[in-house]
C-alpha cells in the first residue's frame, strides 16, 4: 500500500467536572489525514496542511509528532508525506489537534498494517497533544480514537487505562464556537490559569458531578448526565477567557438545554440536550449570548460520534 487515509472526529473534553479525564467524540466535524510513502528512505516527514495557520514543521504539528514517534518505534525510514485536511477549527476547544493526531495514528497503522491495539493508538495520538497543549492529556485523543464517551484513568494498572462507554442515543449537543482571536498554544495558556490546589469542598462537588455523569452514561439517562455537569473548579477559573460566557450559558438553559459547560479548554461552549428538538432554539440562544458580548459565533448541533477509522 502506498497511501492510507483516516478520518477522526471532533471531541469535547472535561464535560464540566471531568477535567483531563472525560472525553466525548462529536460528529460535528472531522479531520482527514492521508499518509503517502514517497521515494527514498531518509526518514523525512513532509506535512501538507490545509490550514496555513497551523505550523507544518513535524515537531510542532500534532499529526507530525505522531507520525515521527510511530516511525521511530517501528523502525520505518520511508520518506512520508502527511496531508492534513482540517475540518475541526484549531484552538477552539473542539479537540482539533487531537483529531489530527488520532487520524494520523490510525492512518499510519493502516498504511503499514501494524494492527496496533486501540489503547496503544490512543497513546500515540497523545504525542500530538504536546504540539498544542505542551502536555500529553488524553481526554480528547481517547474520544477521537475510540469514539463515544471515554474515561481516561490517570494510573497504569491491571484495568484498561481507557474505558469507552456508549452514550445514550437521545443525547444531543450544541457547540457554539465564538469567532474571537485565540492565543497561540491556547490550551497551554488556558491550563496556566487553573489553580494548583483546590478547596476540599470544590473537589467533593466535582467528584459528585463526575460520578453522576458516569452513572448517567451507564444508565443511558441524559437528565442524569446533565445533572452531573457542574464544575466548581475549572469553569470559574477559565470563564473570564470567554466573552459573554454567563449569558451564553443562561440563554442556552432558558432555551431548553439541560446543562452547559466550557468545551475542553474553550472558548467554545457546549450545551447538552435530550433529543434534537430544541437544538435550533438553543443554538440561536447561545449565538445571542455571544452577540451580547460583541462576538459572532458558529453553532454546531451534533451527536456523539464513532471513533477514527480508515476510509
Could you count the other beta carbons within 10 Å of the beta carbon of residue 269? Answer: 27
Is 11 exposed, middle or buried (CB count within 10 Å of its CB: 0-12, 13-18, 19+)?
buried
Place of cell 441524559: 222
Q: How far is the CB of 287 from ligand HSE (least distance, A)?
A: 22
Choice between 18 and 110, CB closer to ligand HSE = 18
Annotated active-site residue in 123, 127, 129, 235: 129
Report the alpha-carbon distance of residue 185 to residue 87 in Å, rounded: 19
187 is catalytic: yes
24 bridge partner residues: 12, 149
Binding residues for ligand HSE, rule: CB under 6 A, are 13-14, 19-20, 93, 137, 139-140, 187, 190-191, 264-265
Choice between 164 and 238, CB closer to ligand HSE = 238
Closest residue to ligand HSE, based on beta-carbon distance? 264
Choice between 190 and 242, CB closer to ligand HSE = 190
Q: How far is the CB of 309 from ligand HSE (least distance, A)?
A: 22
Report the alpha-carbon distance of residue 282 to residue 215 in Å, rounded: 25
Q: How far is the CB of 161 from ligand HSE (least distance, A)?
A: 16
Annotated active-site residue in 187, 212, 235, 299: 187
Q: How far is the CB of 5 from ligand HSE (least distance, A)?
A: 25
Cell of 109: 497503522
Report the relative pairing of strands 45-49 and 80-85 from DSSP bridges: parallel
Choice between 111 and 262, CB closer to ligand HSE = 262
Is 158 exposed, middle or buried (CB count within 10 Å of its CB: 0-12, 13-18, 19+)?
exposed
119 is catalytic: no
Q: Which residues are catalytic?
A: 129, 187
Amino acid at each position: 500500500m502506498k497511501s492510507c487515509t483516516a478520518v477522526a472526529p471532533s471531541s469535547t473534553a472535561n464535560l464540566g467536572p471531568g477535567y483531563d479525564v472525560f472525553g466525548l467524540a462529536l460528529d460535528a466535524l472531522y479531520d482527514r489525514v492521508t499518509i503517502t510513502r514517497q521515494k527514498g528512505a531518509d526518514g523525512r516527514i513532509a506535512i501538507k496542511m490545509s490550514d496555513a495557520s497551523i505550523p507544518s514543521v513535524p515537531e510542532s504539528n500534532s499529526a507530525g509528532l505522531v507520525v515521527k514517534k510511530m516511525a521511530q518505534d517501528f523502525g520505518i525510514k520511508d520518506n512520508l508525506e502527511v496531508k492534513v485536511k482540517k475540518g475541526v477549527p484549531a484552538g477552539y476547544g473542539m479537540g482539533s489537534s487531537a483529531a489530527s493526531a488520532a487520524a494520523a495514528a490510525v492512518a499510519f497503522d493502516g498504511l503499514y498494517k501494524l494492527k496496533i491495539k486501540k489503547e496503544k493508538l490512543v497513546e500515540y495520538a497523545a504525542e500530538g497533544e504536546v504540539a498544542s497543549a505542551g502536555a500529553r492529556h488524553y481526554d480528547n485523543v481517547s474520544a477521537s480514537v475510540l469514539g463515544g464517551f471515554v474515561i481516561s484513568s490517570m494510573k497504569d494498572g491491571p484495568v484498561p487505562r481507557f474505558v469507552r462507554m456508549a452514550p445514550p442515543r437521545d443525547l444531543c449537543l450544541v457547540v457554539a464556537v465564538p469567532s474571537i482571536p485565540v492565543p497561540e498554544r491556547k490550551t497551554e495558556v488556558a491550563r496556566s490559569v487553573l489553580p494548583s490546589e483546590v478547596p476540599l469542598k470544590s473537589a467533593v462537588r466535582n467528584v459528585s458531578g463526575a460520578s453522576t455523569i458516569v452513572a448517567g452514561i451507564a444508565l443511558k439517562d441524559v437528565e442524569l448526565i446533565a445533572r452531573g455537569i457542574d464544575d466548581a473548579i475549572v469553569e470559574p477559573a477559565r470563564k473570564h477567557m470567554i466573552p459573554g460566557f454567563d449569558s451564553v450559558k443562561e440563554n442556552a438553559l432558558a432555551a431548553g438545554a439541560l446543562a452547559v459547560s466550557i468545551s475542553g479548554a474553550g472558548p467554545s461552549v457546549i450545551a447538552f440536550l435530550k433529543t434534537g428538538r430544541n437544538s435550533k432554539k438553543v443554538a440561536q440562544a447561545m449565538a445571542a449570548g455571544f452577540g451580547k458580548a460583541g462576538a459572532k459565533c458558529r453553532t454546531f448541533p451534533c451527536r456523539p460520534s464513532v471513533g477514527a477509522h480508515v476510509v
